[in-house]
Structures are given as C-alpha cells and as structure tokens.
Structure 1
Amino acid sequence: MPATAFFMITLGITFSTLMVTSANHWLTAWLGLELNMISVLPMITKQKHPRSTEAATKYFLTQATASSIMLLASTLNAWQTGSWDITQLNNKISCTLMISALAMKMGAAPVHFWLPEVLQGSTLTTALLITTWQKVAPITLLYMISNHTQSNITLIIGTLSILIGGWGGINQTQLRKMMAFSSIAHLGWTMTAISTAPNIALLNIIIYITISTPVFLLLTATSIKTLQTMTTAWSLSPTTALLLMLLLLSMASLPPLAGFTPKLLILDKLVMYKLTPTATALALFSLLSLIYYLRTSYLLTSMAPPTTTQSTTLWRLKNHYNQLTAALIPLALFNITITPALLM
C-alpha cells in the first residue's frame, strides 16, 4: 500500500474515532462512524482476492444497516424529546433501537454473523483493527447512554453473546474465526455490565484490547493462521509459544492472569443486584470458551521437541512487532493483586 494512502487511511480511522468519542450530538457521532467505516474498507480489500472483496461487502452492508438504524433512533428521539444530545436518549423505543444498532456495529449476538466471515477474509493486521480499535467508538456511545439503557435488553444480548461466542468457537480450526468468536464472547461480558456497572464494562473492554493486541501481533509475526500450523510455533520460537499460551489463558479468564479480573467484578456486581441465576449462567457459558482456549494452548506446548510437528515449519519470523508486543505483554499478563482495590 502506498505511503500516502496508508497515511490517509490511518488519519481517517483515528480522526473518526476521536470525533465519536468527543461528540455530544447524534449527527456528529453518526458522521464519525460513517467516516470510520469508509476508512476501514480499503484495509479489508488490501488483498487482491475474492474472499477479501466478499468480506468488505459484508462489512459495508452490515455497518450501513446499523448506521441507518442508529440514525432512525436518534431522529425518533429528537422528534419526541426535542433534543439531539447523546446523553438525553429518553425515548424507550429509540434506546432499544440504538442498543441494537451499536450491537450490530460491534458484532454482538444475535447480529454477529458478519464478524467471523469478515475477519476470515481479512489479514491478521486488519482483523486486529476490527476487533480492537473499531469497538472503541460504539462502546463509548454505549457508555454515554448507559443511564437510559434497559438492563433486560443488555442482559439478553450479553448472555447470547457469551453463549454463541463460546459455542461457535469450539468447531473452528481457523484462528481468525476463533478470535472472532472470542471477541463476541468478551463483548457479551461488556454488554452484561454496561447498564449495571458501566465503569467495570469499560475496564473489561480495555483489558480485552490489551490482551488481544499482542495475541494478534504474535500471530502476525509467526504467520500462524490455523490450528495445524500452530504446532510449529515451539520449534520456530519457544518464547513466542510460551507467551502466546499465557495470553490465551489470560483471555480464557484463568486466575491469576489479567483476564480474570473484570469477569470477577462483573459477577460480583450481578450477585449484588440480585441476579445470581444470570451470574451462574454466564459463568457456565464461559466454560465453552475455555475449551478452545485450552485446546489452542495444548497445541502450542505439546509439540515441543522431541515430538515431531504435524505441518511444515514456517520460516517467516518477523521482528518489527517485537517492541510493541514486549510493551503490551506485561500489561496483558498483570496478575490479580489489584482486584481487592477495585472491589472497594
């Protein structure tokens, strides 16, 4: 990609997200989300392949539909209340439509079908962008309207996302699709807490972005795209394989790794609000995600010498991600010692 085009795309993605996060008018937020979508499309179609064209088409249609629903919800709210202020979403129908539109933009269940297909048709770098940076703007809007959200709707969306994110990822052999279902499951935890504890929901998505970024960077550095080629990671770089295993276990929310902290806080809040059956169901559904995280971790470490690998070794280790990865991994693996301070 030419340097000028890359600079314009990066500027568009950054500026549009900042526009949404600093907006207080629905039309400004809508404009920022549209600019964000247009900036990401060239990144998806970077590969000259029919699969990437299909992924870009699905991404465009889904995002355009969500933007239309969002515009309808904000217009209906302005018609009823006379205000375009984001924090004044008082109309219940508008609030329900807005939550549905933002869930579609992020890829939360039951409007999640586009996310695995788009990630599979994109590069690992683009998949990293879609699963992390592209969620900042919708999550910010959800956080701003959290006082008006109906807890029943967010709990249903969150529970479905955790269930589908765990169930859908079990059958996958492609890592990009598996990470897409992992993103859906983590979005479920965020949606569950957004109406009862928005600060904890924000903490959950920040920790998820901190963990998933080095995961994608390590996968990109080692050119690993399937579970079969993951068996070559140990012979390629034992340190990379070990760090990738720890990061996956952190995403699986195993203590004392960082991914366990927000899940514990969310379950604690649900029990505090007399939602113990919901908390129990979420804890059980999260075990589905644990299955494919443990399977992937087993493949990373079980092929250590003298065991022979099951596929051809990929001698394409790249070094230009090491500094960023080394800076993020300690944050992604930070232990649970800060939890008592967060609970107080």
Structure 2
Amino acid sequence: MYPSLNSNKMFFYFILFLSTLISISSNSWLGCWVGLEINLLSFIPLISNTNNMMSSEASLKYFLTQSIASINFLFFILLKLMWMKNFMLNNSISILINSSLLMKMGSTPFHFWFPNIIEGLSWFNSFILMSWQKIAPMILLSYYFYSKFIIIIIIMNSIIGAIGGLNQSSLRKIMAFSSINNLSWMLASLLISENLWIFYFMMYSFLIMILCLLFNSMNLFYINQLFFFNMNYGIKFLFLINFLSLGGLPPFLGFYSKWIIINFLIFNNFPMVCFFLIMMSLIILFFYIRIIYSSFLFNNLNLKWISIKLKNKQLFFYTLSSLISIFGIIFSTFFFM
C-alpha cells in the first residue's frame, strides 16, 4: 500500500525540523549550507499543490529565490576562505554573506518574493514561512554579524514593512508586510544578544500562530470578507486583542517584548534605531485597526447563509491565548520592579 498524503506531509515536516537543527548545530559553513538546502527541498513539497495554480506558482518562485540565495551564500563563503588574510575585503565579503542570508529570510531589500509567495499559500504554510523558516538564517546571521550594515537593514525593514501594508486588501499580504516589520525588531534584538532574539521570536510566533489559526478557522483571506460574515462579538473581541497585541500596543503581551528591546537599545546607544522602530509601529497599528474597524462596524450585509461556527475547544483555546495576551502587562510590571 502507498503511504497516505498525511504521512507524506508528516515526513516532510520532520525533515524540515531536522534540517533547521542541522544548520544551527553544524560546526562548518558547508554543513550550514547543506542544512539550508535540505530545508528548501523539504518545504517545496509542502507548499506545492497540483490542484491550485497559485500554490504551484508560489513553490516555483520560492525554489528560484532560495536557490539564488543558497548559491550566493556558498560562493561568498568560499570567497571568505580564499581571502581570509586580506583584511581590506573582509567588510565587503561580510556584507555579501549577510545579504544572502537576509534574502533567504525575506528581508529588505530582498523582500520582493515574500508577499507574492505568501499570497499562494495556506494559512498553516504561511505561518511556517513567517516563523520557522527564519530560524536557521537568523542564527547563521548571528554567527557572522556586520552591525553597521544590519542597522541600515533594520531601518529599511521597519519602513518597507509599515508602508507596504497600507494599500493591501489581502490579509496574507498584510501579515507578510507585518512579518517584514517584525523582522526589523528581531534583527535589532540580535544587536544585543541571541537570548533576547529567542525571547522576541517566541512571543512573535505565538501571536501570529493565534491569528493564522483564527483566519484558517473562519476561512478568511481578504478584508472585504469581514463585511459578509456573521461573527459574534466574542470572535470580534479576539480579533481586537490579538491584532493590538501583535502591533505592540500596551497593555498587551506584544508590547512587553517590544518594550524590553527598546530598553536594551537605548542602554546600548541605538536611539535612531528605536525612533524608526517606534514610528513605524504606529503605521502598522493603523492597518491593524483598519481590520478591527471593518470587523466591528461594517456589518450592514447580514447574509444568513454565510455564518461562522467554531467548535467549543477552538474557541476556548483562542480565548485563553487572548487572555494571556491581555494580561501581558503583569509580566512587564514584575520585570521592571
């Protein structure tokens, strides 16, 4: 008997998990590159779907961009080994190695592929692309970190992630540009320490997991779908809490992680980075509030044949996660006492 599709998917998810561990635990650059290649080849079968043209197009675009980034990464590593004694070329090669890793995680100015690919993915695969697929390039970037170049990338990520999501009607593209903006916070945390990055990444992954599960449960992909669904106020309240928490508005859990990064950046003399991160977070909050506004107030079309039914266990999980988010200020109070 042939294995079922679910068992095949579980196998590829296991290889995806294993390849990230290979990359971050390898003691040579060649081993890191092999782990990134295994990660690429295991993620493509998960996102490709012969019955969906958008998924097939997304898998092809993902393969091409990641292959280019992997070739550049290997080539620049070989250049580094060849010109190791030439100190004049060290900074240039460091920028090139960092650029190839930034391209793999969808950072600006190499973000051109990221929103287009997410548009063709399911919500679960979008969550993996926005969270798990950033782990290996981020940790490899911390091994070979050129801070002056990364500060410029942080500012560019915050600006592009905020402005790019303003005119979007697709929820997946909004989440993609939000991920680009949050990538600037992750890179800023890498300026301080890896432990701070792990803390922020866990908080961010938790928040987008809840939102992706909500969108997947209600089969939402565009803002205008919020006008037609008969959502009760409990689900709308979940939207309100989780979006404001992801935007970093106090007193929610997302504010706690961003507040810690702001404090460390100020203590380490990065005031301009803090300024751009805070200002662009206000723009991010603007298009989050636009989604909340649409779900709360634009309820003129009540189509009775379109309704949302969530199971009690799902609604309990979402409510519990939202309550964790809304009581996040308690943790921050204990931290700064």
Distance (Å, rounded) in 2 between the aligned partners of 1:173 and 1:313: 24
**What corresponds to 1:338 in structure 2?**
331
- Cα offset for 1:74? 2.2
User: How do 1:171-210 and structure 2 match up within 5 A?
Assistant: 171-210=167-206
Q: Look up the equivalent residue of 1:188 and give its one-letter code.
A: S
Moved more, 265-274 or 284-293: 265-274
Q: Look up the equivalent residue of 1:254 and give its one-letter code.
A: L
**What corresponds to 1:231 in structure 2?**
227
Q: Is 1:219 equivalent to 2:215 in the alignment?
A: yes
Distance (Å, rounded) in 1 between the aligned partners of 2:32 and 2:336: 33
- Cα offset for 1:219? 0.3
Q: Look up the equivalent residue of 1:128 and give its one-letter code.
A: F
Q: Is 1:154 equivalent to 2:150 in the alignment?
A: yes
Distance (Å, rounded) in 2 between the aligned partners of 1:340 and 1:236: 34
In the alignment of these two chains, the number of paired residues is 330
Distance (Å, rounded) in 2 between the aligned partners of 1:268 and 1:13: 35
* Superposition TM-score, scaled by structure 1 size: 0.87
- CA distance 1:77–1:317, shift in 2 (3 Å): farther
- Cα offset for 1:92? 3.1
- Cα offset for 1:232? 4.4
- Cα offset for 1:331? 4.7
Q: Look up the equivalent residue of 1:105 and give its one-letter code.
A: K
Distance (Å, rounded) in 2 between the aligned partners of 1:72 and 1:59: 20
Distance (Å, rounded) in 2 between the aligned partners of 1:238 and 1:163: 33
Q: Is 1:247 equivalent to 2:253 in the alignment?
A: no
Contact 1:34–1:67 (Cα < 8 Å) also in 2? yes
**What corresponds to 1:98 in structure 2?**
97
Distance (Å, rounded) in 2 between the aligned partners of 1:320 and 1:46: 31
- CA distance 1:317–1:24, shift in 2 (3 Å): farther
Q: Which of 290, 296, 308 is equivalent to 2:300?
A: 308
* Superposition TM-score, scaled by structure 2 size: 0.88
**What corresponds to 1:114 in structure 2?**
113
Distance (Å, rounded) in 1 between the aligned partners of 2:117 and 2:83: 37
- Cα offset for 1:221? 0.3
Contact 2:47–2:125 (Cα < 8 Å) also in 1? yes
- CA distance 1:136–1:332, shift in 2 (3 Å): farther
- Cα offset for 1:334? 4.5
Contact 1:252–1:289 (Cα < 8 Å) also in 2? yes
- CA distance 1:119–1:194, shift in 2 (3 Å): same
Distance (Å, rounded) in 2 between the aligned partners of 1:48 and 1:225: 18
- Cα offset for 1:10? 1.5
- Quote the sequence identity (%): 28
1:24 counterpart SS class: coil
2:191 counterpart SS class: coil
**What corresponds to 1:64 in structure 2?**
67
Deviation by residue 1:174-194 (Cα, 9 ceiling, x = unmatched)? 100100000000001112232
1:170 counterpart SS class: coil
Q: Look up the equivalent residue of 2:276 and give its one-letter code.
A: A
Distance (Å, rounded) in 1 between the aligned partners of 2:274 and 2:247: 17
Deviation by residue 1:232-266 (Cα, 9 ceiling, x = unmatched)? 45x23432221122111111100011111222222
Q: Look up the equivalent residue of 2:328 and give its one-letter code.
A: N
Structure 1: state its 5+ residue gaps: 83-89
Q: Which of 74, 77, 81 is equivalent to 1:78?
A: 81
- Cα offset for 1:269? 2.5
**What corresponds to 1:85 in structure 2?**
none
- Cα offset for 1:41? 1.0
Distance (Å, rounded) in 2 between the aligned partners of 1:39 and 1:46: 14
Distance (Å, rounded) in 1 between the aligned partners of 2:10 and 2:150: 37
Contact 1:161–1:187 (Cα < 8 Å) also in 2? yes
**What corresponds to 1:163 in structure 2?**
159
- Cα offset for 1:62? 0.9
**What corresponds to 1:87 in structure 2?**
none
Contact 1:167–1:288 (Cα < 8 Å) also in 2? yes
Q: Look up the equivalent residue of 1:78 and give its one-letter code.
A: L
Distance (Å, rounded) in 2 between the aligned partners of 1:19 and 1:39: 13
Contact 1:162–1:285 (Cα < 8 Å) also in 2? yes
Contact 1:228–1:311 (Cα < 8 Å) also in 2? no
2:253 counterpart SS class: coil
User: How do 1:122-161 and structure 2 match up within 5 A?
Assistant: 122-143=121-142, 145=143, 148-161=144-157
**Root-mean-square deviation over aligned CA pairs:** 2.6
Distance (Å, rounded) in 2 between the aligned partners of 1:72 and 1:223: 43
